[in-house]
Amino acid sequence: MTESKKYSSHIKDWPEADRPREKLLKNGEHTLSNSELLAILIRNGTKGESAIDLARRILEKFKTFRNMSHADISHWMEIKGLGMAKIAQIKSAIEIGRRFREDEISEEKPSIDSSREVAEIMMPRMRDLKKEIFKTILLNSKNKIIDIIEIEKGTVDQANPILREIFHQCLKYFASSIICVHNHPSGNPNPSSRDKKFTSELKQAGQILNIEVLDHIIIGDNDYFSFADEGML
């Protein structure tokens, strides 16, 4: 269905060739517009408005899927006809898309040669998060990725729990070296005094266990800070 067509508010009454779900199954998801993809997630519209129309209003408000991913729930609730269940479905789908790249990288197991490569892998998901998360990239002796682990026990502000978890994963996977990555929800990637202290303790712990800490990277909003690049590691 082109964006200009107008039909009944009930998609089930549309010609089969114009229904988003049927189009996807017949021609592939790449053939659908953004509105049609959203409409499949939304499933139902409101009185006098199809799911496609509702999807268009969502896109008019947020413009991009990235904007949707980090918009506060209060902004979503401003959209008439959009309940919490539909909001959860949309945000879940966007999060799956963001995680897909990390899964793809873990399966490909590429080698890492620079902080820029790390940022390109990690930034799409981490730059918009509203809370701080910490990830460790485990590498073998040839700097190839073994796995990307999200550390759940502690944050940079709680150094001891997170250090124990990082090196527990290193030993579990027989990693030769690591690159640690965390985000700053503020969008400013510049390290705090706590970040600097943590990085120093991280390096010391790695030396004791003979596991090289190659870098600690902080992800901001389309920007990043590398302790290695700045000569601070």
Q: Which positions ≥6 away from 24 have C-beta within 8 Å?
A: 31, 32, 36, 40
pLDDT number for residue 2 = 42
Which of 99, 134, 161 lies at the terminal end of a domain, its last residue? 99
- Domain CATH code at residue 165: 3.40.140.10
The reply to whether 32 falls in a domain is yes
Same domain, 92 and 188: no
The distance from CA 121 to its chain's CA centroid, rounded to whole angstroms, is 10
What pTM did the predictor assign? 0.64
CB atoms under 10 Å from CB of 189, counted, come to 21
* Separation between Cα atoms, residue 224 and residue 128, nearest integer Å: 13
pLDDT number for residue 4 = 44
Residues pairing with 182 in the sheet: 134, 218
Question: Is residue 180 within 8 Å of residue 215, measured between CB atoms?
Answer: yes
pLDDT number for residue 15 = 65
Q: Which is it for the CA torsion 103, 68, 38, 75, positive or negative?
A: positive
* Separation between Cα atoms, residue 177 and residue 184, nearest integer Å: 24
Q: Which domain holds residue 42?
A: 11-99
Same domain, 76 and 135: no
Same domain, 217 and 116: yes
- Structure tokens belonging to residue 123: 């930034």
Same domain, 116 and 73: no
Mind listing the pLDDT tens digit of every residue in the chain (233 residues)?
A: 344 454 445 666 676 667 888 888 888 887 888 888 888 888 877 777 888 888 889 988 988 887 887 788 888 989 888 888 888 888 888 888 777 766 766 666 678 889 999 998 888 878 888 888 899 999 999 999 998 888 865 556 665 678 888 999 999 989 999 999 999 999 999 999 999 999 999 999 999 999 999 999 999 988 999 999 999 98
Which of 76, 99, 122 lies at the terminal end of a domain, its last residue? 99
Which of 50, 73, 99 lies at the terminal end of a domain, its last residue? 99
Same domain, 69 and 126: no
The reply to whether 91 falls in a domain is yes
**Count of structural domains, the chain:** 2
